[in-house]
Amino acid sequence: MAQNNGRTAEATLADGTKIQYVIKDNPPRGGMKYTYFAPDKSYVVQFYNDPSVTNDINLRKRIEAIIGKYNPTLPEQKGGARGNSETMAQYFAGKFCWPTAIVVQPEFGIVSPAYPSNFFFGENASVIPELNKDMKGKDKKSKWFTSPKLRKYLKESELGDFRSMLQMSISLARSVRRMHQAGLAHSDLSCNNVLIDPPTGGCVVIDIDSLVVPGLYPPEVMGTTGYIAPEVLETTKFPFGDPKRILPSSYTDLHALAVLIYEYLLLRHPLVGPKFYSNDPVEDDFLSMGPKALFIEHPKDHSNRPKDLRVTIKDLGSELESLFLRAFVNGLHSPDDRPTAMEWEKALVRSWDLLHPCENPKCREKWFIMHDISNPVCPFCGTRVKKEDVLRLTLKSQIRGKTGQWIKSGEITVYHNMPLFKWHVYANTFPDEKTDRDLMAYICKQNGQWLLINYNINGMTSPQGNLVPQGKAVLLSNGAVFRMSGDPNGLLVEVSCGK
């Protein structure tokens, strides 16, 4: 194809629609495709580096299925994923760069939305002025923000904080859960195919056209070094088609997901430690990520543990600690034991409710998970939270059919101006893609007292059993117990103060 800088060309889609794209020399090129932008940069047109793959009928069928009946960014009534509402489709359209159409002329390719502008580096991202020109317009691949070597090149304004990294972890777990619910596997979930924007907590999954549709379309790629599941790496010596060869699947996605979440929260790789396996660097990499892979925080085998681990999985609370142990101890070489994306999503959301701002203005991470109110210390800088600023709400839901009997359903660590939403009020609500984010109440500190202000809840009652109208407050004193709502699913709240 002729390549003149800035020449506008026309592509014909499978439905006969014609669209424009701009041909430039040296277009961005990945492992499988190269990319041209629309004149207004709102979408991209991508063609395959190897034109012969376009003769593969299975490739076309897979992309048709991905664009159509498996598509979480398209409502079911418009041909998208089963059970997908307009609200759900709109939500996930912001979480994936999902292909929208097949190109048939001038050659086979796909159309995808362009990444939002915040997933590209701007012109002043680096602390090294000479790097800015090279970085401008480049994708914000995860490794820039999780590798200690690369982070030091970025300005602090690019790095976000612990809360934004936790937000991205929730977003990624939710996106992978949605893919798996649809029966799909990504097959190459990695730092290259998940773009992140720490200042906003944004996260988008890309390279969707290589998704695996189990039982129909096998994977085309093995994955990216550092994110390939050990069992896939171990069996690469067997040829394709050999039953002993393990190929990417939803189980291998779960390994990559756990690696990415660990990197986001702790800014290091869970398997890269000091242990040495071979004088041959290639063999050493193979063993350390494959047959001999060992978690750097393994509770019994400390042989791969770095000496400078100040913040560990224990600092993230027992729920996340447990999932990381399942992912990298039990499940590292046993895929069936890996936590699902939904388990990650739920645990991360519950951990979000335990976030507390660090009171040290110089703390790099600004937030931490206050999982233990008896020892409220920021693990990142060592600052202790003042006793009067430690407040925990225990949420309880009523056992169905047993009036007056309650079981614990969650916890909230309180901070000034903390918002509360429906999932903090009602037992049958979880903050997924279907739930609205309307403010229901908020917590603030006034004149040394903690208050919960009813903003939009019907039937809230005080510890004395009186109705708390909208606009009025409940005093959060130690030992207080009250109902968030008189609704049958309304949660019961118990208040605990710091000691």
Specify the CATH number for the domain of residue 435: 2.60.200.20
Please, are residues 214 and 185 in contact by the beta-carbon 8 Å criterion?
yes
pLDDT at 220: 66
Domain boundary among 65, 86, 114: 114
Position 210 scores a pLDDT of 77
Judge if 271 and 346 occupy the same domain: yes
Is pLDDT of 2 > 60?
A: no
Q: Measured between alpha carbons, how far is 389 from 497 in angstroms, rounded to an integer?
A: 8
Environment class of 206 (CB within 10 Å of its CB; exposed 0-12, middle 13-18, buried 19+): buried
State whether residue 288 is helix, strand or coil. Answer: helix
Q: Concatenated DSSP letters for 215-273?
A: TTB--S----TTTS-HHHHHTTTSPTT-TT-----HHHHHHHHHHHHHHHHHSS-SS--
Considering the domain architecture, whether residues 405 and 491 belong to the same structural domain is answered as: yes
Listed residues 352, 367, 399: the one ending a domain: 352
Whether 446 shows a pLDDT value over 50: the answer reads yes
Residue 338 contacts residue 254 (beta carbons within 8 Å)? yes
Verify that 83 and 225 share a domain, yes or no: no
Q: What sections of 335-482 are H helices per DSSP?
A: 341-352
What pLDDT was estimated at residue 25? 87
Residue 110 lies in a domain: yes
Say what percent of the chain tops pLDDT 90: 82
How far apart are alpha carbons 452 and 443 in whole angstroms? 4
Looking at the fold, whether 36 and 105 belong to one and the same domain comes out as: yes
pLDDT value of position 3? 43
State whether 60 and 141 are in the same domain. no
Which residues touch 250 (CB under 8 Å, ≥6 apart)? 180, 184, 185, 214
Q: Which helix (H) or strand (E) holds 165?
A: helix 162-181
Of 308, 335, 352, the domain-final residue: 352
Residues 171 and 319 in one domain: yes
Contact 436, 88 (CB under 8 A): no
Looking at the fold, whether 231 and 204 belong to one and the same domain comes out as: yes
Residue 321 has which token pair? 């600690």
Region 338-350: mean pLDDT is 98
pTM, two decimals, is: 0.94
Query: Do 55 and 89 sit in the same domain of this protein?
Result: yes
* pLDDT, tens only, 357-383: 999 999 999 999 999 999 999 999 999
Higher pLDDT among residues 215 and 278, named by residue: 278
**For the chain, what is the mean pLDDT?**
93
> What number is the average pLDDT over the span 325-353?
98
Residue pLDDT, tens place only, 41-53: 999 999 998 888 8
8 Å CB contact between 101 and 13: yes
Residues 51 and 137 in one domain: no
Residue 400: pLDDT band by 50, 70, 90 thresholds?
confident
Residue 371 lies in a domain: no
Structural domains in the chain (count):
3
pLDDT at 316: 98
Residues 105 and 161 in one domain: no
Q: Is residue 375 part of a domain?
A: no
Other C-beta atoms closer than 10 Å to the C-beta of 320 total: 25
**Is 378 part of any domain?**
no
Proportion of the chain above pLDDT 70, given as a percent: 98
Domain identity same for 316 and 436? no
Do the domain assignments include residue 396?
Answer: yes
Question: Residue 237: inside a domain, yes or no?
Answer: yes
What is the arithmetic mean of pLDDT over 147-169?
96
CATH number of the domain where residue 233 is located = 1.10.510.10
How far is the C-alpha of 331 from the C-alpha of 337, rounded, in Å? 5
Q: In terms of domains, do 171 and 268 share one?
A: yes
Cα(263)–Cα(269) distance, integer angstroms: 6
Residue 253 structural domain: 130-352
Q: What single-letter DSSP state applies at residue 490?
A: B
Note the pLDDT of residue 85.
94
How far is Cα 22 from Cα 25, in angstroms, rounded to an integer? 10
User: What region, left, alpha or beta, does residue 137 occupy, with left being phi > 0 and alpha being psi -120 to 50 degrees?
Assistant: left
Distance CA 181, CA 340 (A): 11
pLDDT higher than threshold 90 for residue 417: yes
Q: Is residue 363 part of a domain?
A: no
pLDDT of residue 374: 93
On whether residue 439 sits in a domain, the answer given is yes
Whether 233 has a pLDDT exceeding 50, the answer reads yes
Q: How much is the pLDDT for 52?
A: 84
